[in-house]
Amino acid sequence: MTTEATPPTTSVSPTTRQVWTRSRGIVLAFVCLLACAAVIATLRSDARHGALDPRSGDPYGSRAVAELLADHGVSTRVVTTLAEARTATSPGTTLLVAAPDLLTERQQRQLRSATADSGGRTVLVAPGTWSVETLAPGVSADPVTSRGSTLDPDCTLPAAQSAGSADTGGIRYTTTHLDADECYPSNRLATLVRVPDTTGDGDTVVLGAPDIVHNDRLDEQGNASLALQLLGSRPHLVWYLPSLSDTSVTDQDEEKSFFDLIPSGWLWGTLQLFVAAALAALWRARRLGPLVPEKLPVAIRASETVEGRARLYRKANARDRAATALRSTTRTRLAPLVGVPVTQAHTPETLVPALSARLHGEGQPLHSLLFGPPPADDTGLIALADHLDALEREVRRP
């Protein structure tokens, strides 16, 4: 029974070379992907994206107007946080709020408190109902926008008059200030509103559409002239682009987050625990060899067909068949006991007299028990089975 096996080279793990041969295609594809991504990123990195960005050369950027202003000696500074925008307000500064609707209500209030009576100019580009009433109190936006884009000045504001018609059509505003300039009206509602501050010579300009500062529209109509006069009235222009990285979006002062409250030791300790969990996952993930497959034999019980037949009888309420089967079996067993040949076990004329002679009993109940009609209900069937058993016991008793 014991024999010795000869040792061939038995290792089936792939060698380093095999691993490299198998995986180099994937590695190559991944490197290509990374290279392409790097090339694309490098090629397109100079073009800054984002509408109304004074650094962007896109059709919807505003580099053209910023450069024109620089030619006229106006410096442009881009700020992205509220704090920077607030500190930048001064009498010599124009503050352009590129997308006032992106500011939260609290930011709007803070910005307004900084710009009101600062002496500088505040230009709000297309503020909607959400922001205009906070940033320029007394001005409200009409829910219906103007039909056309190019409008005529139709007011006494010198900048508007000298610029002539311009693409200011967009949101239309009404104001309750009596001394406000309402220009470029569309259906009697102005799309450019200048509200002077109550004190000082600062003012707030509400612009219905950003078109006049877009690169691609700057050379049309009087857009360039209007933009230069609105934004170039002060030596400095602060271009406020609201951003998501602005921490003033969250209400720092009022409530601190959970992570700010727990000590940093806990946070770093948890990070290290995550590292440990990752290592534990790697430890548990590596299995000690694959599962071994095996062909399983079929498992059918030999009695399955009989059980199935029993369930069919039950479902069909086949009391007649069941009773016949039970009676026939009992008759076959009883016949040899009372001296009747098995071939004649199913003839009542032979079996019943032999049985009643053995039991000294009546023939009639025996006849109905062994050869009678099928029982009317299930209780009758159960009783029949019990009576047949009792009869057999009676016959077998010595």
Partner 1 sequence: MALTGRTALLAALGSLPVGIWEPSWTGILAVNAPLAVACACDFALAAPVRHLRLTRSGDTSVRLGDTADVTLTITNPSRRPLRAHLRDAWPPSSWQPGTDIAASRHEVTVPAGERRRIITRLRPTRRGDRQADRVTIRSYGPLRLFSRQGTHRIPWSVRVLPPFTSRKHLPSKLARLRELDGRTSLLTRGEGTEFDSLREYVPGDDTRSIDWRATARRTTVAIRTWRPERDRHILLVLDTGRTSAGRVGDAPRLDAAMDAALLLATLASRAGDRVDLLAYDRRVRALVQGRTARDVLPSLTNAMASLEPELVETDARGLTATALRTAPRSSLIVLLTTLEAAPVEEGLLPVLPQLTRRHTVLVASVADPHIARMAAARGTTDAVYEAAAAAQAQSERHRTAENLRRHGVTIVDATPGELAPALADAYLALKAAGRL
Q: By the criterion CB under 8 A, which residues form the site for partner 1?
A: 1-7, 10-13, 15, 263-273, 275-277, 279-280, 282-283, 286, 288-290, 292-294, 297-307, 309-311, 313-314, 321-323, 325-326, 328-329, 332, 378, 381-382, 385-386, 389
- Nearest approach in angstroms of CB 311 to partner 1 is 8
State the nearest-atom distance from the C-beta of 358 to partner 1, in Å. Answer: 23
- Structure tokens of 345? 């076990």
Q: What is the token pair recorded at 188?
A: 């009697």
Nearer to partner 1, 164 or 308 (CB): 308
**Cβ proximity to partner 1, 45 vs 264, nearer residue:** 264
User: How near is the Cβ of 385 to partner 1 at its closest, in Å?
Assistant: 5
Burial 215-233 (b: 16+ CB within 10 A, else e): bebbebbbbbbbbbbbbbb
Nearer to partner 1, 192 or 381 (CB): 381
For residues 85 and 95, the answer to whether their CB atoms sit within 8 Å is yes
- Evaluate whether 352 touches 370 at the Cβ level (below 8 Å): yes
Q: Which of 199, 218, 222 lies closest to 210 in space, CA to CA? A: 218
User: Strands 121-125 and 181-186: what pairing?
Assistant: unpaired
Q: Which of 295, 306, 96, 293 is nearest to 206 (CA)?
A: 96
Smallest gap from residue 346 Cβ to partner 1 (A): 11
Among 95, 56, 124, residue whose Cα is nearest residue 240: 95
Note the Cα 85 to chain centre separation in Å: 36
Shortest spacing between CB 66 and partner 1, in angstroms:
40
Closer CB to partner 1, 41 or 292, in the complex:
292
Q: Which is nearer to partner 1, 147 or 301 (CB)?
A: 301
CA atoms of 62 and 207, how far apart (whole Å): 15
> Under a CB-based contact definition with an 8 Å cutoff, are residues 221 and 164 in contact?
yes
The smaller minimum CB distance to partner 1, of residues 177 and 333, is found at 333
Phi and psi, residue 80, nearest 5°: -120, -5
- For partner 1, the closer of residues 18 and 140 by Cβ is 18
Q: How far is the CB of 295 from partner 1 (least distance, A)?
A: 9
In the block, residue with structure tokens 């307000």: 89
Contact at 8 Å (CB) between 249 and 104? yes
Q: How far is the CB of 318 from partner 1 (least distance, A)?
A: 8
Greatest alpha-carbon span in the chain: 139
The residue (of 200 and 336) whose beta carbon lies closer to partner 1 is 336
d(CA 166, CA 172): 15
Cβ 103 vs Cβ 111: under 8 Å? yes
Least distance in Å: CB of 347 to partner 1? 17
| Closer CB to partner 1, 13 or 199, in the complex | 13
Q: Rounded to the nearest whole angstrom, what is the least distance from the CB of residue 19 to partner 1 in the complex?
A: 11
